[in-house]
Amino acid sequence: MTTAPAVRAMAGRGARRARSGRPGRARSRHYLYLVPGFVLYAVFTLTPLAQTIQYSFYDWDGITEATWAGFDNYVAVVTDPVSRSTFGHSIMFIFFYTVLPTVIGLLIVAVMNRVRIRFLTVFRTVLFLPQILATVVIAVAWRWIFAQDGPINATLELLGLGALSRAWLGDFTTALPAVGLIGTWIMYGLCMVLFIGGVQKIPVELYEAARIDGAGPIREFFSVTLPGLRGEISIALVLTVTNALRNFDIVWNTTSGGPGTSTLVPSYLIYEGAFVTREVGFAAAASVVLTALILVITGAITRLLRVGADR
Amino acid sequence: MIRTRRAPLAAAIGITTVVLLAGCAPGSGQRTGPTETEEITEPVTVEQVAELGDVTLRVWADAGEESMLDALVEQYEDTYDNVTVDVTIKGWDDLMGTVVNAMNGDNAPDVTNGNQGFAIMGTMVKGGMLRPIDDVIAAYGIDEGLPESGFDSMRWNDDGTQWGSGNIYGMGGATQPLGLFYNRAKLEELGLGVPDSIGEVEEALATAKAGGETPIQLGNSDQYPLGSHVLGILINMYADPAEVNEWIAGGADASFDSPGIRAALEKLAEWGEKGYFAAGYDGRSLDDAVSAYGEGDGVFFLGGSFNGSKLAAVDPDAFGYTLLRAESGEYVTTGTFGTPWHISSKSTIQPAAIAFLGMMLSPEFAQTYADSSRLPVADLEGVTATGSMHQSQLDAAQALFADGEFVGYLDWATPTMQRTLGAGAQELLGGRMSVDEFVESVQSDWSDYQTERTG
């Protein structure tokens, strides 16, 4: 354990400094309070992270002794056509998990801001429900909705559009958007709740000023509401992008990556590599790449929106 | 001074460096080795088990075994009253994802379900996690009256790199051949007899389609069973069983590119084109399809005999089951002695584990399997069926044991084969892949793995 002595040394230093009467430095001692939390964090997050990075450089079945593989696993993640396509699908999911829910959430907020809605709390709760349902339940419900004999096709038949009916999750062209729309349904409630909370913090005076200046609903939305929600939008984007990229449960419970490999996602390959096909090195390398991708994209989002705020 | 924001990153890098510098490759650590295996020549006695003192026998099992185990555990604990049985039930995917690691751990279950093929059984044999059970099979007479070829998939070389010969490492309690289910009432309505060969099936499918029925019920949203079981049945019809088994076992000159397998693939694609499979099958789960079939949607259903338990629960006499004669005229099907049971090589209470398997695989216990419409390996002839559907399954299994040919499951061939076949079959029927491309993708998956396996 390398961390404990370091922490002790730091704590000791803090104590000395406090005695020597330099008040600013006494803060070091506060790190002591972080030790229990940090130990948990180190054992359950940092160590597995470090192990995953280590495994990614080996060829390992998870059981017998591993052999050094260098960057072979990373090369495989980047060059294997199926593996590459999974990252493409993830990017597509960002549209359904992030862009659509954010737009829908903003629309709802814009409308709620102009029109007084009765039973607002009830609506808010109902729209937030998808967030608290178990994803397996959601997947089963949507599998039924999208099924050949499900309500979507029944509606199409009623409208005389029977020719369009199909097993939405089993069709090469519609499976990916169909899975994506489930994500939209799960995520827009979260976005909406975040935005409603944010709007209530925007000073009413700003809206009054805008209206006195003759701003219409659209102008008001872009000049007052949208800038005021920058922080909430940033949080919503980070959360939903992360969910889009690590999507596993919905795919697992609806299409298993099919038909063909049309809805396969990186998390699915990682799970398979780690537990089914026993290619632990490849799975670890894919995890590292996925983690890096999530960090880069979410990092870019927060930076972009923060820079905007400084202007 | 370290800036707080960088601290977690620095720590992660630090730990990684330490782990890497420690220089130990994953999997090189010390683990509990196998305990001394005492071979038996006679069944374990109650006294031998009693000598162990008060012990707990830990068992991991597939969910399909739950009702059988409930009965077995009660009977076992009555007989061996110093043993408490602790059963852990897991769904199939969950079990397959965790069993190897569990058996590799220091606290491995004494008895567990596994699966044939390289990924599960091969890895466990390679890691020395399983106790060979040839002596148990002989002492209890478990192999009496059984076709020797049925044990092929349970036999492994010592390195766990090749199956087909060597020690026996597992044994199943209920056989699960793939076959053809039929809806009796619908056959009658359509004026059809029970098909016995692939030719007769084709005629019946055409008649069913013309009569406005769903010819074959199917639910394939898990990319299963179209590419594994349905294709498997067709391959059994057209290809040479010995060649297919050779390919599954990773024989040096084996190939998926054979006229028989191509014929099977052409037939599968043709059935897809003719609309013989239930509409929207890729968007429906297997469970939903079995339920729909139970409710009367579909004339035929192709799949494992284990689906029969659910159908018999709906109505024990409404459905029937048959094996099919291949072009050779013989009954050929994919099947084994069932999901294998293993004894951990690390178990410190091996007599108790042996007694558990001995009781489970005995003719006296066979009726318990049969009571839930399963097909006990131990006494196919002697058990009483739950109804005419179950009886037709018992008859089929007997015919297979007497003079039929067992073919292995195609997905045993490589750890990735299930996906390659499952995704490929969807693409083949979706018109996105030709037979040539299908054969090529399967064979390349196979070759890659053989290179890796034989190093």
Residues in chain B closer than 8 A to A260 (CB atoms): 423-424, 426-427, 430, 432-433
- Give mean pLDDT, residues B345-368: 96
Residue A117: the pLDDT is 73
Top-confidence residue, A132 or B384 = B384
Partner B contacted by A72 (CB < 8 A) = no
Among partner residues A46, A66, A258, which is closest to B423 by beta-carbon distance? A258
According to DSSP, residue B28 is labeled -
Least Cα separation, residue A85 to chain B (angstroms): 14
- Mean per-residue pLDDT over chain B, rounded: 91
Q: Assess if residue A298 is contained within a domain.
A: yes
Across the interface, whether the CB atoms of A260 and B432 are under 8 A apart is answered yes
Q: How many domains does chain A have?
A: 2
Same domain, A87 and A14: no
Confidence tier at B421 by pLDDT (50, 70, 90): very high
CB A101, CB A252: distance < 8 Å: no
Tell me: pLDDT of B4 over 80.
no
The Cα A139–Cα A92 span in angstroms is: 19
Per-residue pLDDT tens digits for A215-243: 888 898 999 999 999 999 999 999 999 99
Residue B348: the pLDDT is 95
Q: Assess if residue A163 is contained within a domain.
A: yes
What are φ and ψ of residue A67, in 5° steps? -115, 145
Same domain, A218 and A272: yes
Share of chain A above pLDDT 90, in %: 66
Which of A25, A54, A182, A271 to probe by mutation at the B interface, max B CB count within 10 Å? A54
Partner B contacted by A25 (CB < 8 A) = no
Per-residue pLDDT tens digits for B43-85: 999 999 999 999 999 999 999 999 999 999 999 999 999 999 9
- Give mean pLDDT, residues A33-46: 93
Confidence tier at A113 by pLDDT (50, 70, 90): confident
The Cα B427–Cα B422 span in angstroms is: 9
Q: Assess if residue A55 is contained within a domain.
A: no
Same domain, A18 and A100: no
Q: Assess if residue A300 is contained within a domain.
A: yes
Least confident interval from A93-97, A278-282, B136-140, B212-216: A278-282
Same domain, A135 and A264: yes
Least Cα separation, residue B191 to chain A (angstroms): 28
Could you tell me the CA-to-CA distances from A159 to A143, A156, A162, B326 in Å, in that order? 22, 5, 8, 47
What type of residue sits at position B275? G
Alpha helices in chain A (DSSP H): 3-19, 35-41, 47-55, 72-79, 81-94, 100-114, 120-132, 135-146, 151-158, 175-201, 204-212, 217-220, 226-228, 230-245, 249-254, 266-271, 280-310
Same domain, A19 and A112: no
Q: Assess if residue A183 is contained within a domain.
A: yes
User: Which parts of B184-277 are beta strand (E)?
Assistant: 216-217
Same domain, A155 and A284: yes
Does the predicted interface ipTM exceed a cut of 0.95?
no
According to DSSP, residue A274 is labeled I
Q: Assess if residue A155 is contained within a domain.
A: yes
According to DSSP, residue A63 is labeled S
Same domain, A112 and A233: yes
Taking CA–CA distances from B222, the nearest residue in chain A reads A256
Partner B contacted by A269 (CB < 8 A) = no
**Sign of the torsion angle spanned by Cα atoms A156, A157, A159, A160:** positive
Q: Is B31 helix (H, G, I), strand (E, B) or coil?
A: coil
Same domain, A138 and A24: no
Same domain, A113 and A170: yes
Q: Assess if residue A166 is contained within a domain.
A: yes
Share of chain A above pLDDT 70, in %: 90
Residue B32: the pLDDT is 62
Among partner residues B18, B119, B283, which is closest to A2 by beta-carbon distance? B18
What type of residue sits at position A211? R
Same domain, A253 and A140: yes
For A102, the domain range is: 74-310
Q: Assess if residue A54 is contained within a domain.
A: no
Tell me: pLDDT of B378 over 50.
yes
Share of chain B above pLDDT 90, in %: 80
Same domain, A7 and A148: no
For the ranges A3-7, B82-86, B445-449, the one whose mean pLDDT is highest: B82-86
Same domain, A11 and A154: no
Across the interface, whether the CB atoms of A259 and B427 are under 8 A apart is answered yes
Map out the domains of chain B with their CATH numbers.
46-175+337-379 (3.40.190.10), 178-334+406-454 (3.40.190.10)
Tell me: pLDDT of B8 over 60.
no
Which of B17, B416, B426, B452 to probe by mutation at the A interface, max A CB count within 10 Å? B426
b (16+ CB within 10 A) / e for B51-68: ebeebebbbbbbebbeeb
User: What CATH number corresponds to the domain at position A205?
Assistant: 1.10.3720.10
Residue A13: the pLDDT is 45
- Give mean pLDDT, residues A127-140: 90
Least Cα separation, residue B381 to chain A (angstroms): 37
